[in-house]
Amino acid sequence: EVQLVESGGGLVQPGRSLRLSCTTSGFTIGDFAVTWVRQAPGKGLEWVGFIRKKAHDGTTEYAASVKGRFTISRDDSKSIAYLQMNSLKTEDTAVYYCTRGYCSGGSCYFADAFDFWGQGTMVTVSS
Amino acid sequence: QSALTQPRSVSGSPGQSVTISCTGTSSDVGAYNRVSWYQQHPGKAPKLMIYDVNERPSGVPDRFSGSKSGNTASLTISGLQAEDEADYYCCSYAGTHTIYVFGTGTQVTVL
C-alpha cells in the first residue's frame, strides 16, 4: 500500500525555521518526484514545490511565494523527502501535504498529476 | 500567477449531473493537457480523480469525467451520490516559470 506520512509541523515564530519530513512506504521513492502542496486554514490548495527523481538530476522547482526561503531535498535510501522552511512568515501558516508525482508517459520531467497524498501536517507561524 | 477560476459552489439532487468549470489562460489550461482534478472531503487529504484532462485513475468511478475546451476545463459528475459531496480543485501545469497552478475550489452539495 502506497503511503506518505508528513511530520515536523508545529508552532513557530515568524523569522524562524522548521523542517518537515515526508516518510514514504509501499513504493520506491527513487522512481518518483515528490511534491509539496499547502492549504491555509479555510483556503484552497497552493503548489509549493517539488524535487525530481535522481534520474532527472534530482533538481527542484519552487513557487514564487517560497523561492529562496524553502528547500526540498530527498534521501532515497531512507525513503524520505524533506521541506526545509526558513524565514517563515505568518502567511506560511497552512497544512502541508507531500504528494507523489504521477506520469502517464513521456519524459516525466514535470509530473502530470499528484496521485497519492499524505494526511498533512499543520504549520502555524505566529508570535 | 493567479489561481484558476472555479465556481464557489454547485449543487444537485441524487442521480443528477453537475459540471464544475475551471477557467485559466492560454498559458496554463489552454496550453497544456496536464489538467487534473482533486476531491477533498472535510479534514481529509485531496484525492486524485482525473488526470491529463480526461483520464481516470484506477478505482475512480466512471461517473467522474473530464474535458477541456480552449482555456476552460470541466469536471462532470453524473449520477450524483451523497458521498460526492466534497470540495473539488482543478490543477494545471503552467510552463517552466510558474510550473503548477490550482483552482480556487468548488464545493459540491448533494441536495
Which of A112, A115, A121, A122 should one mutate to test binding to chain B, selecting the residue with the greatest count of B CBs within 10 A?
A112
pLDDT at position A43: 97
C-alpha cell at A112: 502530470
> Is any Cβ of chain A less than 8 angstroms from the Cβ of B38?
yes
Q: Is the pLDDT of residue A52 over 80?
A: yes
pLDDT at position B43: 96
Query: Residue B48: its chain A contacts at CB < 8 A?
Result: 102, 113-116
For residue A89, which of A37, A49, A48, A124 has the smallest C-alpha distance? Answer: A124
pLDDT digits (tens, 9 = 90+) for A69-94: 999 999 999 999 999 999 999 999 99
Question: In A3-127, which ranges are continuous DSSP H helix?
Answer: none
Q: Is the pLDDT of residue A3 over 80?
A: yes
pLDDT at position B107: 98
Query: Residue A67: its chain B contacts at CB < 8 A?
Result: none
More confident residue, A103 or B37: B37
Q: Is the pLDDT of residue A107 over 80?
A: no
Query: Residue A61: its chain B contacts at CB < 8 A?
Result: 99
Q: Is the pLDDT of residue B8 over 90?
A: yes
Q: Across-strand partners of A85?
A: A18, A70
pLDDT digits (tens, 9 = 90+) for B35-73: 999 999 999 999 999 999 999 999 999 999 999 999 999
Distance from C-alpha of B90 to C-alpha of B88, rounded to nearest angstrom: 7
Q: Which amino acid is at A21?
A: S
Which of B53, B68, B100, B104 should one mutate to test binding to chain A, selecting the residue with the greatest count of A CBs within 10 A?
B100
